[in-house]
Structure 1
């Protein structure tokens, strides 16, 4: 994640405030709009999820795996891309109200979400991790029982934590917050004991902030996919480009650039 490591620690903790203020390079409302000779596609995202999407402190631009992926797709299809940044928990409703044309935000294509929106084919699968402080006494999954676990609102990890609480760790306490950086802040402040995150995102925080962590041994979540309003014709168009990216190596190139390193 060489580009992610260039994002300063200040950026990570500033993202929550930037997003809360509605940082965006697009206008409100969904649908395609003319932009010179190209039509505009409006993408919804929650830019607090490095290395998939974040805000570069120096330039104020959106950067990350999902950003480069969707820029490539939009370019191949002849669209101009605009981005609306919002809380993750509001992305599905933004699709349903057609304020955005699609969502790319490290979103897992769960069966529950499929009832509300359509998804592209999967483009990445990480799994989950629990993040702790290095001196924490939480070293294994069982050690989480009776502890407070932080999760991001509206994510697959929030759903997973509730399932873990129901099936495995009855005394687990769950604290949901809007942004991943807020969870890390709460962890470092000692107000929560662990954070439950996508594995790629977790490893980024662990390496950057000298934290600790371990893999989730329970059932893994579905892979990440791009979400669309029900019945959107864009699904077929995006799938075609995603299949081409898998075949020509462009998807692997992005993974190496943003994730594997």
Structure 2
């Protein structure tokens, strides 16, 4: 009996503790009782998520923001390292609670997911530092061979951009090369197998800083997309709790501080957007 009573008291104490954080009451019951959110993340996308080569510790914008949001919600994060292709099925089958891994909030993904958007980025052309003078403006890429990860939306977007800005102007089309990932595109660029590459604008400041005088960014991003935290369609309670927690971090200035730490102030949003639409 005594043991049973102690357990009960301990549970009451835990519940009271959780309720003191701002939004714990907004969390679904399963998360409250588990005391954690399981978050799909693949740490191969610096500066969004990556492992510190020295300590193997998870780092990046998504990691810092993910931990701050969970803290705001009075819970903890268990990161689940899942390949990008498996993330959506892991979410819909309930293996993870949400996806927070540099995922673009694309209309075609909204059939299965709801997104709480937290930054803006876009597809951006870059080339080698040695060849930067050949590419003064974006139409200079017309007729050139450009590498980019085939797992992203960049190949489709580049073909579309080329149709509107190269072919429509009587210039040759960009030759799009789908690579194994962004690192593969960079390797092919360095080897001279492609003339240029396309990557998410949010990743390029980190890259330029890491490998000085190796690459040159050309022009502005040629698409505009939001990155979002993905939730299962039926999980509106968790989605709304996260939206409220993000608003609290925006209000406190912590949101801005996280992005400033990673040199990405230019990607900040001015408020809460769900599935690309501002929430009034």
The alignment's TM-score, normalised by the length of structure 1, stands at: 0.77
Whole-angstrom distance in 2 between the partners of 1:87 and 1:163:
27
2:141 paired with 1:139: no
Whole-angstrom distance in 2 between the partners of 1:162 and 1:234:
37
What is the root-mean-square deviation in Å for CA atoms of aligned residues?
2.4
Off by >4 Å, runs of 4+ in structure 1: none
2:114 paired with 1:110: no
Structure 2 alignment gaps of length 5 or more: 1-29, 168-172, 266-280
For residue 160 of structure 2, the aligned residue among 158, 163, 168 is 163
For residue 245 of structure 1, the aligned residue among 246, 249, 255 is 249
Is the partner of 2:143 in helix, strand or coil?
coil
Q: Which has the higher helix share?
A: 2
Is the partner of 1:240 in helix, strand or coil?
helix
Whole-angstrom distance in 2 between the partners of 1:173 and 1:87:
28
Mark the structure with the bigger radius of gyration: 2
Contact 2:151–2:181, Cα closer than 8 Å, also in 1: no
2:118 paired with 1:126: no
For residue 227 of structure 1, the aligned residue among 227, 230, 240 is 230
Give 2:20's aligned residue: none
Contact 1:89–1:155, Cα closer than 8 Å, also in 2: no
Whole-angstrom distance in 2 between the partners of 1:91 and 1:206:
29
Give 1:175's aligned residue: 177
Contact 2:201–2:221, Cα closer than 8 Å, also in 1: no
The offset of 1:179, in angstroms, is 2.8
The alignment's TM-score, normalised by the length of structure 2, stands at: 0.73
Is the partner of 2:176 in helix, strand or coil?
strand
Number of corresponding residues: 227
